[in-house]
Structure 1
């Protein structure tokens, strides 16, 4: 760990999509750095969900506004919001119902959660970090809604950065590349596809959830005080090829 111990010891952090993968790694990191963490997602009792004395886990669908509002109503302060909830339905996304559902989870829920958290975040000039993707930057025939939602996250991040700046709230996004998470499990199980991905990553390996969590945490620190409206690729150089 490269952060100062106790860096977030007085902070409260809310993370959506926090019961597995990048979201869970981010929850664990903030808790290790002293924050009170509220982790939202499906599978709250599952093996991938974060655990610890400073972590509260909620079984909650991010598309249900009343549920998110109820969780926020329990908080007396909020310093960091991480919108990490996301899913892909691959080629099924060409069907209207799948398209609508992916957009609702990946993009609309991020907007609504940010809006619901705005008042709390403004009290101390908080930070929002959204999860974009390498698909923010290029097309993929097999996941149109996922790509559209992640392109939308980058645009939403810029819009909210401008809108929220007068209240001292910074809004940034992280765009992960090929990361070893449950979302990529199917691809990693295919040795040919896995190797094709690996061959194009200049860094030479698939990333880890903890590496994305590190960048999310950095964007929430005072060291990033002059950074807002940015979508930062964290992909081992994949998007450079």
Structure 2
């Protein structure tokens, strides 16, 4: 259990993009298990059934700058912000309009949220963790917009880490590999793809959302007090195979 490794008692945490069964929800549950007060957002009208009533929930479109600023203005304190909102559609991202929409959600949305909560994070000497992807490191012919946006998230993380270091804000990212989530469900309908991923991954399996939560809590904790501007690969060794 995450609470046996980290203590976030009294901390205020927001996880953006945690309404579906996946990485964001796993991160939110892990912070809650470690004692934090957690609020989540998502594009859906309500979170996954198992999280209804568990967290304070706000339906939020991260492409709506006014809505993002209004959401941030409602929170006086924030210790940790996790940017997990992202979309992708395997095989559909060559369409220019959809490409632009993916980048707007994944990259611009990440920046909108970070900028909106800058004052609170500065006051708390807090931590910002962005969710990138292994596709930030190499090409993705079926998901070009997703790959491009996540590569940009890594560079944004580095730039904000430098810009906000003087404010006492640490900015880091994680790059998940192939994870069993609702978002990856479409790609997992292809047995050949599923088998190819498992065979290439040195650890021999797809990751689970909980595999991402531990490193995120580490980056938000005092154990990572001298870390900023980094991106941790969490992919079972896929990117080095």
Class of the TM-score when normalised by the shorter of the 2 chains: over 0.9
| 1:28 equivalent in structure 2 | 29
- Tell me whether 1:43 sits opposite 2:44 in the alignment: yes
| 2:8 equivalent in structure 1 | 8
| 1:58 equivalent in structure 2 | 58
- Tell me whether 1:83 sits opposite 2:83 in the alignment: yes
CA positional deviation for 1:3: 3.9
CA positional deviation for 1:146: 0.6
For 1:187 and 1:95, the matched residues in 2 are separated by 19
For 1:61 and 1:98, the matched residues in 2 are separated by 16
Unaligned runs of 5+ in 1: none
Cα 1:141/1:180, change in 2 over 3 Å:
same
Q: What TM-score, normalized by structure 2, do the two folds share?
A: 0.95
CA positional deviation for 1:211: 1.0
Q: What TM-score, normalized by structure 1, do the two folds share?
A: 0.95
**Is the 8 Å Cα contact of residues 28 and 51 (structure 1) preserved in structure 2?**
no
| 1:168 equivalent in structure 2 | 168
Secondary structure of 1:146's partner? helix
For 2:142 and 2:206, the matched residues in 1 are separated by 21
For 1:107 and 1:48, the matched residues in 2 are separated by 28
Unaligned runs of 5+ in 2: none
For 1:70 and 1:48, the matched residues in 2 are separated by 26
Cα 1:215/1:52, change in 2 over 3 Å:
farther
**Is the 8 Å Cα contact of residues 24 and 48 (structure 1) preserved in structure 2?**
no
Query: Residues 121-144 of structure 1: CA distance to partner in whole angstroms, max 9, x if unpaired?
Result: 001210000011010110011111
| 1:116 equivalent in structure 2 | 116
Aligned residue-pair number = 240
| 2:93 equivalent in structure 1 | 93
